[in-house]
Structure 1
């Protein structure tokens, strides 16, 4: 999988945001601003020492507004704005592709842009998740209520199955599992930011072969 120059990737990612409905774009912009202030404060003074009130003050919002965007303090680390973009790109994939082939195409399309634009933020979030037990515990809950549901609904739609189909559920968790494995490999190793798309594609290809060992 090739990567794109960061400035071109960032522009294309912004273009994708621009295609979303205005209401969604405004929500994503506010969510990102809150998260940027939160990550800065976590870096400066530590996760446990940073309060929601401090994050809200830095972002110039009220604590109640913070909780409209992030149900808990943990969610400000775990949440990102890529799910609606992923869903949009996924639905544009050719019908003849299998669900896994379509997902690999989505990742090949989006990941170089994410790496070019937000790799440092992603790395900081993953480091926090690795180092804070409460975040690691919340991550599974967040996946169940966020990306897993988005992916589940798209796969169900694409295959003509119901969202509660056990095989749809198993497929989605398998995909998320190999994504997590790639992220932790990237985090724990010496891989550069630009290597992440290739690591993820390798894991998805391995999944597609039935994970032979």
Structure 2
């Protein structure tokens, strides 16, 4: 029973869903006026590029035996998906989220790109940082900075995110997907880019 719950946590909080969660949160909290049709267009485009397209890429890679699991359990399996994900994020930065439109989200995705590149370099070096923790901690840091930027009280959301982060870390450890060092490295790879980039938009 415990295994099923922890596997469900790893699936529900899969890295694929985290960027869209950050964007949805931003649109729900920003005091700026953004037309509904613009929000819908951004969300649909991002859903296609950050969730549907990576799933299709995974299915293709799985078919040609380049990956064995959606969790990318070995460092070798991670290289192609991470490289392709970097390309997808660059497309998003060029076409969907530009600095002249929504600067907060632009730097949010710049941070995601830096985290992905760092994770890719480590994978090439045969070190398997936790992509789950990178994604959740990066969004967590983005939420904290947004609360400061917009002067809003989201303590409940932040507490929930902290619980989520702990649950994901526990899940990855229990399932023996990562060791403590890989989780700690994932945390810093997720948090630091978002924290450093604050200087450019806060």
TM class by shorter-chain length?
Answer: 0.3 to 0.5
Structure 2 length-normalised TM: 0.35
Structure 1 length-normalised TM: 0.34
* Structure having greater relative contact order (Cα 8 Å, sep ≥ 6): 2
Q: Quick check: which has more Rg, 1 or 2?
A: 1
